[in-house]
Structure 1
Amino acid sequence: MSERLETLKKARDRMIEDRDAHAKVLAAAFERDTAERARNKFVEMQALIDALYRAIKSEGTISGAN
């Protein structure tokens, strides 16, 4: 596995951990301000995870072509 692909996977795993922390806040007792911040961060993190997933898929395709 290339170093770039490994780095992307590590970044994705780290962002999943961060996203999970925000999900826990959303699942807890409702506090408007806290929930709103957690929701916004969750959506932001999910967009980043999706982008990392696409990069990993692309890198795998590129690496497989070589």
Structure 2
Amino acid sequence: MNARLDMLNKARDRMIEDRDEHAKVLAAPFDRDKAERARNKFVELQTLIDALDRAISAEKPASA
């Protein structure tokens, strides 16, 4: 695995951990302010994770 791919995978793992924290807030008893912030951050992080997934796919060598 090349260094760039390793870096992208580490970044993805970190973003998943951050996203999970916001999911916990969304799953907790409803608090409008907290839920709204958590929802926005969750969507932002998921968009970033999707972008990292595309970057990881682009870094992987094409199979023959």
Secondary structure in structure 1 of the residue aligned to 2:60:
helix
Match of 1:55 in 2: 55
Q: CA RMSD in A?
A: 1.1
Match of 1:4 in 2: 4
Which 4+ residue blocks in structure 1 deviate beyond 4 angstroms? none
Match of 2:30 in 1: 30
State, as a whole percentage, how many aligned pairs show the same letter. 71
If each structure's helix is expressed as a fraction of its own residues, which one has the higher value? 1
In structure 2, the gaps of 5 or more residues are none
In structure 1, the gaps of 5 or more residues are none
